[in-house]
Structure 1
Amino acid sequence: MAKGSQKRIAGQNEKAVKNLRLGMIVPTILSIVLRLIFRRSSLPPSKGALAIYILTYLPALFLSRYLENIGTSRRDPTTGTLISSGEDLNQSGVTEWCFDILYVTWGCQIGSGAFGEWVWYLYLVIPLYAFLKLWTSFISPMVLGRSSAPPSEETTEKETLSKRQEKLRKRGERGDPRVRASRK
Structure 2
Amino acid sequence: MANASAKRIGVLGYLLFIRHILQAEASQNEIAIRNLFYGQVGANVLALVLRLFFSKTSKTAIVFYVLSLGAGQFLYRQLVKMGTPRRDATGTLVSSGDDLNQPGMTEWFFDVLYVSWFAQVGSSVLGEWFWWIYAAIPGFVVFKLWGSFISPMLLGRSSSAAEAEDAAPESNLSKRQEKLKKRNERGDPRVKTQTRR
- The two structures have a TM-score, normalised by structure 1, of 0.78
Q: How large is the RMSD of aligned CA atoms in angstroms? A: 2.7
Q: Deviations over 1:128-151 (max 9, x none)?
A: 111112222222222222248854
Q: 1:156 to 1:68 in 2, by over 3 A?
A: same
Residue of structure 2 aligned with 1:97, choices 101, 108, 112: 108
1:27 equivalent in alignment to 2:43: yes
Q: Aligned partners of 1:113, 1:54: CA distance in 2, in Å?
A: 13
Residue of structure 1 aligned with 2:86, choices 64, 67, 74: 74
Give the corresponding residue for 2:59.
47
Q: 1:153 to 1:22 in 2, by over 3 A?
A: closer
Q: Aligned partners of 2:43, 2:164: CA distance in 1, in Å?
A: 53
Q: Aligned partners of 2:70, 2:165: CA distance in 1, in Å?
A: 54
Q: Which has the higher contact order (CA 8 A, sep 6+)?
A: 1
Q: Aligned partners of 2:143, 2:162: CA distance in 1, in Å?
A: 27
Which structure 2 residue ranges, 5 or more long, are not aligned? 1-15, 184-189, 191-197
Which structure 1 residue ranges, 5 or more long, are not aligned? 175-179
1:6 equivalent in alignment to 2:22: yes
Letter in 2 for 1:104: V
Q: Please identify, of 12-21 and 138-147, the stretch whose mean Cα deviation from structure 2 is larger.
A: 138-147
Letter in 1 for 2:38: L
1:119 equivalent in alignment to 2:135: no
- The two structures have a TM-score, normalised by structure 2, of 0.73
Q: Deviations over 1:90-129 (max 9, x none)?
A: 1111110110000000011111111111111111100111
Matches within 5 A, 1:115-154: 115-147=126-158, 151=163
Q: Aligned partners of 1:135, 1:76: CA distance in 2, in Å?
A: 46
Q: Aligned partners of 2:170, 2:107: CA distance in 1, in Å?
A: 34
Three-state SS of the structure 1 residue aligned to 2:94 is: strand
Q: Aligned partners of 2:171, 2:105: CA distance in 1, in Å?
A: 31
Letter in 2 for 1:49: A
Count residues in correspondence. 167
Identity of aligned residues (%): 47
Three-state SS of the structure 2 residue aligned to 1:88 is: coil
Letter in 1 for 2:39: G
Three-state SS of the structure 1 residue aligned to 2:30 is: helix
Rg (Cα) greater in structure: 2
Q: 1:146 to 1:152 in 2, by over 3 A?
A: closer
Shift of 1:88: 0.4
Q: Aligned partners of 1:158, 1:53: CA distance in 2, in Å?
A: 59
